[in-house]
Amino acid sequence: MSRPMKKRRVSALPPCTRFMPQEGEDAPEVTISLEEYECIRLLDYVGMTQEECARQMGVARTTVQALYLECSGPGRHYSVRRCSGQC
């Protein structure tokens, strides 16, 4: 039996529920979890270290690393700063 999943703290829901590619780009729709969004926000936008992010979310640093790697795998790199403002 696997370990039960630890609850992850998320500060707030994102202001936008849908993010569009920059003008002129034709990209397929991508879905990311709320935890992935929070991880990207804390690391890239707020500028926290993985350790600080882990403390904020209430998880282990390795969990933060796994969430971030999930979002930045081959052909996937997202940034909270790229929100097109279309909410």
At residue 13, the pLDDT reads 80
At residue 7, the pLDDT reads 74
Residue 64 three-state SS: helix
Residue with more model confidence, 2 or 72: 2
Residue 33's contacts (CB-CB under 8 Å, 6 or more residues apart) are none
Retrieve residue 68's tokens: 């971030």
At residue 60, the pLDDT reads 92
Side chain identity, residue 54: A
Note whether 15 and 87 are within 8 A (CB): yes
pLDDT interval class at 83 (50, 70, 90): very low
User: pLDDT of 43-81, one tens digit each?
Assistant: 988 999 999 999 999 999 999 999 888 877 665 655 555
